[in-house]
Structure 1
Amino acid sequence: MTAEPEPYAVGDPETALKYAIQHIRGDRVQIVEGVIDPVAPSWDHEFVASSIREQIAGALRELGCVAGSGNLDLPGSSNWYVPDLAVVPHALAKGAGALLPEQTLLVVEVTSESNGETDRIAKRRRYAEYRAPLYLLVDRQERTCTLFAEPGPLGYTEVRGPHPFGSPVRLPGPFDVELDTGGF
């Protein structure tokens, strides 16, 4: 008589889930409050992220940073985010699989019809909790930009905006850049 295989035992479901989504072929996915969410931005969405990247390019060079949409882990929670844009120091980005929000200088999320509430509420709360120093929310449905700063366990304590598209949005130090939002 052959022995029955032992059932797969997961000692840490958070680790197992985050490991699994990193090994999905083809698609990028994130986990938002325990829900697996495919990341498939439209070209219009990508245009906004690209425009911001271009506008902060000089600051990126001066700061020795890179901007991209790499993975952000939120340990101790069922969250694994793929932001539309995050700015991180070159030294941290090189060879990194995932970083923590507190290791970023700026996180940008651009809303879509399907994820607007997630970006406005859940991600804003979690980015503050995990100490992302600056969170820029580009809300394409409301046609506004809001910059959140001074993170804490209860949320961001400084809110600049919402600024209607077409109004400049000032990114504070270390960027000291005024974003032109007219083309968003």
Structure 2
Amino acid sequence: MSTAPHVPGDYTTVSDPERALKYAIRHIAGDRAEIIEGVITPMSPSWAHESAAEVVRRQITPRLEQLDLVSGSGSLDLPGSQNWYIPDLAVVPVGLAEKTEGALLPDQTLLIVEVGSPSNAETDRVVKRRRYGQYGAPLYLLIDRQERSCTLFSEPTRLGYARESGPHPFGTPVHLPEPFDLDLDTGRL
């Protein structure tokens, strides 16, 4: 098949399965769907899920303003894999966020936060932990609502993360290292 640039409406030029899958997620599945190991997965977080992410966001926001960073839940592409994630919260430099219309890469983030739910807990604990590490996300905070704990992963390697702090039971402060250098209060998670 041809490797010519894709023309909207002409699907004969989409020969690469990864490219086709990521095209589908961006143009057909909508803004609230991820690709996890090749499977398109719709997202519909509960209010409790959103509340946990907001607890973290509110605590880190003053530090983000000082460091010229922004938090959000924009798309992350994992090139060379059939993965396209929408984290519950990611922190990136303001300048990068302002000029990026599409997805960012995990290594362009400073922190990724995922809040586990009954429907996605194992994915966040195993698959995303490994993939975020492989793709260079410096810090990955897993808020595990089923286990009522937080775990911070750091020191990404090609196999995942080399360092793990936790699991810390809810109510135990979790230290976010530089550039954040703050302790998260996990009592309201």
- What is the rounded CA distance, in whole Å, between the counterparts of 1:20 and 1:26 in structure 2? 9
**Partner residue of 1:130?**
135
Q: Secondary structure at the match of 2:63?
A: helix
**Partner residue of 1:145?**
150
- The one-letter amino acid of 2:83's match is N
TM-score, with structure 1 as normaliser: 0.93
Question: What are the ranges of 5 or more consecutive residues in structure 2 without an aligned counterpart?
Answer: 1-9
| Equivalent residues of 1:27, 1:39 under 8 A apart | no
- What is the rounded CA distance, in whole Å, between the counterparts of 2:149 and 2:117 in structure 1? 13
Alignment deviations for residues 134-158 of structure 1 (CA, whole Å, 9 cap, x no partner): 0000000000000000000122111
Alignment deviations for residues 86-138 of structure 1 (CA, whole Å, 9 cap, x no partner): 00001111131100000000000000000000000000000000000000000
**C-alpha displacement of 1:28:** 1.2
- What is the rounded CA distance, in whole Å, between the counterparts of 1:83 and 1:92 in structure 2? 17
**Partner residue of 2:59?**
55
**Partner residue of 1:40?**
44
Aligned positions of 1:67-82 closer than 5 A: 67-82=71-86
2:171 maps to 1:163: no
Q: Could you say which structure has the larger radius of gyration? A: 1
| Equivalent residues of 1:144, 1:163 under 8 A apart | yes
**C-alpha displacement of 1:181:** 0.4
Please, what is the CA RMSD of the aligned residues?
Answer: 1.4
**C-alpha displacement of 1:39:** 1.2
**C-alpha displacement of 1:7:** 8.1
Q: Secondary structure at the match of 1:114?
A: coil
**Partner residue of 1:20?**
24
Q: Secondary structure at the match of 1:62?
A: helix
2:33 maps to 1:29: yes
Question: What are the ranges of 5 or more consecutive residues in structure 1 without an aligned counterpart?
Answer: 1-5
| Equivalent residues of 1:105, 1:133 under 8 A apart | yes
Matched pairs, number: 179
- What is the rounded CA distance, in whole Å, between the counterparts of 1:25 and 1:10 in structure 2? 17
TM-score, with structure 2 as normaliser: 0.91
**Partner residue of 1:116?**
121
- What is the rounded CA distance, in whole Å, between the counterparts of 1:138 and 1:104 in structure 2? 18
**Partner residue of 2:187?**
182
2:90 maps to 1:90: no
Using the aligned pairs only, state the percent identity.
65
